[in-house]
Amino acid sequence: MGKKQVRTQMRRIQPKGAASNAQGATRRQRERFVQAGGMLQGYAPDQVVRWGYIAVGIAALCVLIIAAYLLLLPPIYGWPDAVAAAVAWIFPIALLASFVGPGFRLALKDRKAEPRIVQGQLVGASSVSTSMGLGMLMVQTRGGSEQFLVPPARLKQVPGNQVNVVLTVTPNLHHVKSVGVMGQRMVGRVEPPVPPVMRRLQLIPVLTPVTLAAAAVIGDDAVALSPIPNSAIHAALAVLTGAILAAGVYGLSYLFQRRWMAEVQALVPKT
């Protein structure tokens, strides 16, 4: 009887440990993704720096709008409503900082750092990936299989047979500056047609933050600038409306992403 109780307790405890390990692995993957530049991983450092300056300009415009709201709205609607209207414009700044900030810092480092050389056997290549404007290259190195995001123009010389390739890669953003092929190019690489679902998946990382920010700002400010008598209720309704719209956009984006990812996995041949 005692042995049965021990076995039962072990069976009950093990799933909890597995869930904890899975959550820890997912957290580590997110941390590595952000440390490698997040959504800007694989892009050229100079291009990422330009995007960073554009993001700084947009953030400065948002700060000016916040200041204008705090100066102009209190005499008309009161301070609670003015603060509620201004708070919505902090959301675009936070999104820009979280999406562009990590890649921008790494791009500044890559502009001064020496690229590293990666050599290995070609495993596969594709001119399309989940990142807009980038293809994908898989290389078997001594340390294992590595995957790189590559501009499609640099994949034109990559053949279909297994040859050795030499990549010049920036150390932080992992931008592939050059691709060299060693050996005979016996088989031409045939590019299969790109499924429409892949094009839609590429838009998700770009459209989601833009739509989130637009929904929060439009919902919040539309209510904040409406003639509602009670100042405290007016401000609460404005913030609540913006939060509900942003949450709705995020939920729809999450559902569409899961659905399209399932479609992509269904296209992968089963071995």
pLDDT in tens, 209-260: 889 899 999 999 999 888 888 888 888 999 999 999 999 998 998 898 888 8
- At residue 32 the predicted structure's pLDDT band, cuts being 50, 70 and 90, is low
Please, are residues 215 and 248 in contact by the beta-carbon 8 Å criterion? yes
What is the pLDDT at residue 34? Answer: 56
Mean pLDDT, rounded, of the chain: 81
Question: pLDDT tens for residues 100-141?
Answer: 888 898 999 988 888 899 888 888 888 888 788 888 888 888
What is the pLDDT at residue 33? Answer: 55
- At residue 155 the predicted structure's pLDDT band, cuts being 50, 70 and 90, is confident
Instruction: Enumerate residues 6+ apart whose C-beta is below 8 A from 21.
Output: none
> Would the pLDDT of 11 be above 60?
no
Q: How many C-alpha atoms does 134 have within 13 Å on its Cβ side? A: 23
- At residue 29 the predicted structure's pLDDT band, cuts being 50, 70 and 90, is low
Please, are residues 264 and 195 in contact by the beta-carbon 8 Å criterion? yes
Report the helix count and the strand count for the chain, using DSSP H and E. 7, 5
> Would the pLDDT of 167 be above 80?
yes
Please, are residues 149 and 37 in contact by the beta-carbon 8 Å criterion? no
What is the pLDDT at residue 268? Answer: 63
Please, are residues 123 and 151 in contact by the beta-carbon 8 Å criterion? no
* Backbone torsion region of residue 133, taken as left when φ is above 0, otherwise alpha when ψ lies between -120 and 50, otherwise beta: left
- At residue 28 the predicted structure's pLDDT band, cuts being 50, 70 and 90, is low
